[in-house]
Amino acid sequence: MKILVTVKRVPDPETTIRVKPDGSGIVTDNIKYVINPFDEIAIEEALRIKEKQGQGEVVLVSIGAKVASEQLRTGLAMGADRAILVLCDQELDSLGVARILAKIVEKEAPDLVLMGKQAIDDDANQAGQMLAALLNWPQATFASKVEFMDNYVQVVREVDGGLETVRFPLPGIITTDLRLNEPRYASLPGIMKARKKEIREIAVAELGIDTTPLLTVHKMDPPAKKAAGKKVESVQELVHLLHTEAKVI
């Protein structure tokens, strides 16, 4: 089975994010970048599917500046077979991303596309759904379990208040949730092998599609600072304040 996995370069969740004073974006100096954690789960799942089936190919695809090859190289060190980097310097919205991916799917003809349910930088949670619509493929989002049956794939989805089990025939799209698996570390032999694996670069212009964003970011605000806590004298006072001030009981 050929599996295409999307990989986005995002700021390390452990870095402190600061918003630029003019609200036009975040301060990117000295930020460390990593693979979007949900995409890392998608890579892990693809590798497990390949290992379980004993054959197949795992192809990574990323969109962005040349530096995104760092994250692709890490995915290759985890065990993916090869990678594609769509070079694109402009800002993209989810639809632009989905259109580019649709072109890549057309060229690569994978049986399955595995994506993170969202990227932790903009938390849009749209690209997978839009890609499914553009391709007219079935989709299962927020996957917490993926199993292959005779001629379909069965996915357990994490939905509000419980789990939903869905099935669809391939090809299709699955987006991963946090509890699907625990990604492996890139091993040292994996790192050494990754050096020889291919990262093919494609200029976005070559794809001949319109990626002008319909959505633009106008302003970013940092979250409100937490106000200092308050000390209370007694349990009675605490209960009283929880009722009258916090209004939680």
Partner 1 sequence: MPVFDLFNPSEEHAMLRRTVREFVRDQVEPQALVHDQQERFNLPLFRQLASLGLFGITVPLEYGGAGMDAVAAVIVHEELSASDPGFCLAYLAHSMLFVNNFYRNANDEQRRRYLPKVISGDWIGGMCMTEPSAGTDVLGMKTFAVRRGDYYYLNGRKMFITNGALDDTTPGDIFLVYAKTEKGISSFVVESRFPGFSLGQRLHHKTGMRASMTAELVFEDCAVPVENRLGEEGESLLHMMRNLEIERVTIAAMATGIAGRCVEIMTRYASERTAYGQPINSFGQIQRYIADSYAQYMAARTYLYHTASKLDLDRPGQRIDSDGVKLVATTMAKQVADNAMQVLGGYGYFGEYVVERLWRDAKLLEIGGGTLEAHQKNITKDLTRRLDVIR
Among positions 186, 197, 213, 241, the unique one binding partner 1 when judged by CB under 8 A: 186
DSSP characters over the chain: -EEEEE--EEE-TTSPP-B-TTSSSB--TT--EEE-HHHHHHHHHHHHHHHHHT--EEEEEEEESGGGHHHHHHHHHHT--EEEEEE--S---HHHHHHHHHHHHHHH--SEEEEESS-TTT----HHHHHHHHHT--EEEEEEEEEE-SSSEEEEEEETTEEEEEEEPSSEEEEE-TTS--PPPPPHHHHHHHTTS-EEEEEGGGG------S-------PPPPPPP----S-HHHHHHHHHHTS---
Residue number, 192 or 239, with CB nearest to partner 1: 192
- 60 touches partner 1 by CB under 8 A: no
First to last CA, the chain: 54
State the minimum distance, in angstroms, from the CB of residue 239 to partner 1: 32
- 185 touches partner 1 by CB under 8 A: yes
Among positions 21, 54, 189, 229, the unique one binding partner 1 when judged by CB under 8 A: 189
- 95 touches partner 1 by CB under 8 A: no
Residue number, 29 or 150, with CB nearest to partner 1: 29
State the minimum distance, in angstroms, from the CB of residue 79 to partner 1: 12
- 241 touches partner 1 by CB under 8 A: no
- 226 touches partner 1 by CB under 8 A: no
Residue number, 200 or 240, with CB nearest to partner 1: 200
- 9 touches partner 1 by CB under 8 A: no
Stretch of 73-81, 131-139, 214-222, 241-249 contacting partner 1, by CB under 8 A: 73-81
- 35 touches partner 1 by CB under 8 A: no
Chain positions contacting partner 1, by CB under 8 A: 70, 73-74, 77, 185-192, 194-195
